[in-house]
Amino acid sequence: MFESGLDVFLKQDYKKYRGLRLGVLCNQASVDKNLIHISQALLQKKFKLQVTCFFGPQHGIRGEKQDNMIESEGFVDPVSQLPVISLYAKSREPSDDAVKKLDAFLIDLQDIGTRIYTFMYTMANCMRAAKKFGKKVIVLDRPNPINGVNIEGNVLESGFISFVGQFPICVRHGMTMGELALLFNDAFGIGYDLEVVRMRGWKRKFYADDLKRNWIPPSPNIPSLLSAIFFPGCVLFEGTNVSEGRGTTRPFEWIGAPFINPDKLAGEMSSMKLPGVYFRPIYFQPTYQKWAGEVCGGVHLHVTNRRRFNSFNAGVRLLAKIAEMYPDGFRWKNPPYEYEHDRMPIDLIAGTSKLREDIEQGKGIESFERIAEEQLRAFRKLRADFLIYKQ
C-alpha cells in the first residue's frame, strides 16, 4: 500500500517533532490519504504539535491564482487563526523575522517532475533560510507523478539561473521532492540539517495514476496527469507568442496561435514519427492569457505510449517547426519573466540561449539535441547518488 511522506509522518514520525515550533510550507495538494489537508491534520489535538505559521508557494497556498506570475498576499487562516506567509510575492524567501520564530520548516509540496517549476526552488530558499538561522528542515516526500525513471532534456547552464531554474539539473529530472532536497543540500552546496520522511510503497516506474489516489492539481494549469506529462516540452511555449493552452481546458496539451494552419502543422509533425505521440489538428479559443478570445489553429498532442514518449524532444521539435513554418507570425516573448527583466524568457526556460540562437539562425536543432544528450548522461550519474527509492 502506498503512503506519502505526510501519511508516514502522521502515522508515527510526528512524535519526534513534538515541542518544535513548525512553519509549514504547503498548498492545496498537501493532503493525506483521506484527502484531509495538512493544515487540518497537523492541528488535531492528538498530535500535540506546535504549528506557528504556514508558507504558501506560487499560485497561493490555496491554489487560487489561476494564471502564472500572479503574486499572493499573506493573510490569517480563518480556521486555525495562524498567519499564512506568501513566498511568491515581493520576496520569494521567508523573512528573517519569520524564520527566527521557528525551530523547523515542515515542507509538503507536490512537484510535477520538471526543472521549470518553482516549488522546488521555494523549498531550496527555505533550506537556505534554515541554514542561516540554524533551523531544521523536514521534507515530507511525495511521488514524481510522471515516474522516477525517465529523464529528458538539457542541463541548466550557470548563466541562466532564475526562479524557474536555480541548479544544473535536466528538464525532466526523474526525482522526488525529497531526492531533490538531498541533491540540493549535498551536491549543490546548501549543506545543512535536512531530514526526508520517506514514502512507502512507491516504485520509480509508477505514474501518479498507478497509485490509485485522487489527482489534486499541484497548480491550476496542471489539471490532470496528462498536463504534467506534456509539461517538460510544452512549457517552452511560455517563452513565445504561441499559446501553450492556458485559458483552455487542456493546458500544455493544446499548442497554437491564430497564424497557424493546424492541418499543415499536424502533417509536418506526424511525418517526423516521434515515438509515443500523435499530433491532431485542432482549433481552440483561450479565455485568458495569450490570444484570449481569438481562434487559434494548432495541434492537440495525444500520448499513444507514455513510456516511449519524450515530451522535451517533442516540444523542441514542435517549437522549431512552428518557427520555421511561420516566420512572419512567430515571435519570442520579451521580458519580464519570473522576476527577470533583461534575459529572454525562452532562454530562462530552456536554461540556455543555444536553442533560441540555433532556431533563429536556421541551423536546425540537431546540435542542441546532441549537447543535451551528453549533459543528460552526466546528470544521470550525478543523480544516482541521491535516489532514495531504488526500484
On the question of pLDDT at 307 being above 90, the answer is yes
The predicted pLDDT at position 272 comes to: 97
- Residue 340 binned pLDDT confidence (cut-offs 50, 70, 90): confident
pLDDT of residue 69: 67
Cell of 87: 513566498
The reply to whether the predicted model has a pTM over 0.75 is yes
Mean pLDDT of 208-213: 96
Both 289 and 315 in one domain: the answer is yes
Eight-state DSSP code of residue 236: G
Please answer whether residues 221 and 302 qualify as being in contact, where contact means their C-beta atoms are separated by less than 8 angstroms.
no
Question: Which residue type is seen at 275?
Answer: P
> Would the pLDDT of 215 be above 80?
yes
Three-state DSSP class for 73? coil
Distance CA 73, CA 5 (A): 28
**Looking at this protein, which amino acid is placed at residue 328?**
D
Can you tell me the mean pLDDT for 355-365? 96
SS3 of 186-212: HCCCCCCCEEEECCECCCCCCCHHHHC
239 in a structural domain: yes
Cβ-based neighbours of 200, under 8 Å, separated by 6 or more:
1, 2, 3, 7, 8
215 vs 21: CA distance, rounded Å: 31
Same structural domain for residues 274 and 300? yes
How many alpha carbons fall within 13 Å on the CB side of residue 350?
Answer: 27
Instruction: Say whether both 26 and 131 belong to one domain.
Output: yes
Q: Is 48 left (phi over 0), alpha (psi -120 to 50) or beta?
A: left
238 Cβ neighbours under 8 A, 6+ residues apart = 68, 244, 333, 337, 345, 349
- As beta bridge partners, residue 165 has 162
Question: Cell digits for 314?
Answer: 517533442
Q: Residue 384 domain-assigned? A: no
Let me know if residue 231 belongs to a domain: yes
Are residues 234 and 186 part of one domain? no
Query: Which of residues 217, 236, 260 is at a domain's end?
Result: 217
pLDDT of residue 40: 94
Structurally, the chain folds into a number of domains equal to 2
Closest to 261 measured CA to CA, from 230, 235, 299 = 299
265 shares its domain with 334: yes
pLDDT confidence of residue 231: 98
The answer to the question of residue 313 being in a domain is yes
175, 197, 217 - which closes a domain:
217
Task: List pLDDT tens digits, range 242-270.
Answer: 999 999 999 999 999 999 999 999 999 99
Model confidence pLDDT, tens digit, residues 140-184: 999 999 999 999 999 999 999 999 999 999 999 999 999 999 999
Confidence of residue 68 (pLDDT cuts 50, 70, 90): low
Whether residue 165 sits in one domain with residue 88 = yes
> If we measure between CA atoms, which residue out of 316, 178, 326, 183 comes closest to residue 265?
326
**C-beta neighbour count of 43 within 10 angstroms:** 16
Residue 13's pLDDT is: 87
Provide CB contacts within 8 A for 223, sequence distance 6+: 217, 249, 251
Mean pLDDT, the chain, rounded, equals 96
pLDDT band per the 50, 70, 90 thresholds, residue 62: confident
Write down the pLDDT at residue 58. 92
Q: Which residue in 116, 166, 109 sits closest to 312, CA to CA?
A: 116
Taking 90 as the threshold, does the pLDDT of residue 79 lie above it?
Answer: no
Query: What beta strand segments (E) does 41-130 contain?
Result: 50-56, 75-76, 83-86, 104-108
Rounded mean pLDDT, 271-295? 97
Strands (DSSP E) contained in 93-235 are 104-108, 136-140, 152-155, 170-172, 194-197
| Residue 152 included in any domain | yes
Same domain, 28 and 75: yes
| Distance in angstroms (rounded) separating the CA atoms of residues 201 and 3 | 6
Residue 252: the pLDDT is 98
Beginning with the edge strand found earlier in the chain, give each strand of the sheet holding 277-284 in spatial order: 254-257, 296-303, 277-284
Instruction: Read off the pLDDT of each residue in 69-84 and give the average, rounded to a whole number.
Output: 87
- The CATH number linked to 322 is 3.90.1150.140
Kindly state whether residues 172 and 238 are assigned to the same domain.
Answer: no
CATH number at residue 198: 3.40.50.12170
The answer to whether residue 109 is domain-embedded is yes
Using pLDDT thresholds of 50, 70 and 90, give the confidence band for residue 66.
low
Q: Is residue 388 situated within a structural domain?
A: no
pLDDT: which is higher, 151 or 91? 151
Same domain, 86 and 200: yes
pLDDT for 328 beyond 90: yes
Same domain? 20 vs 92: yes
For residue 292, what are the domain limits?
A: 225-352
Q: Give a yes or no: residue 383 inside a domain.
A: no
Q: Is the pLDDT of residue 284 over 70?
A: yes
Last residue of a domain, one of 217, 249, 264: 217
Q: What is the percentage of the chain residues whose pLDDT exceeds 90?
A: 91
**187 and 46 in one domain?**
yes
Chain-centroid distance, C-alpha 277 = 22
Q: How many CB atoms lie within 10 A of CB 293?
A: 9
Q: Do residue 206 and residue 234 come from a single domain?
A: no
19 contact partners, CB below 8 Å, separation of at least 6? 50
Percentage of the chain beyond pLDDT 70 is 99
